[in-house]
Amino acid sequence: STAMKNISYNENSSHYLISIIQNHALEVGISAINLLSKQVFITQIIDNEAYINTITLINLWSPIEICMHEKMNDSNLSKLIAKI
């Protein structure tokens, strides 16, 4: 895609884009795409209100971009992600 062509890489930068979705039962679905190796990681976890598992995965991948549905803009998870 044209969005990926405009991204410049260096050895110290992250190469992941992640997408996050959540339902009302605190189930979080996460997909991460490594732009260099073209690997895709998909997982679904049940988290608590502190979203410790979700935040840990985000910190692990250190993505250059996080995509979320606009309905999640005011969610607790969205606010935690904005902090990190």
- Beta-sheet pairing, 27-34 with 40-46: antiparallel
Q: What is the pTM of this model?
A: 0.76
**pLDDT at residue 19 in the model:** 96
Farthest CA pair distance, the chain: 39
* CA pair distance 60, 10, nearest whole angstrom: 18
Per residue in 21-59, pLDDT (tens digit) is 999 888 999 999 999 999 999 999 999 989 999 999 999
In 3D, which of 55, 59, 66, 62 has the Cα closest to residue 18?
Answer: 66
pLDDT band at 84 (very low <50, low <70, confident <90, very high): confident
**pLDDT at residue 13 in the model:** 57
**pLDDT at residue 17 in the model:** 96
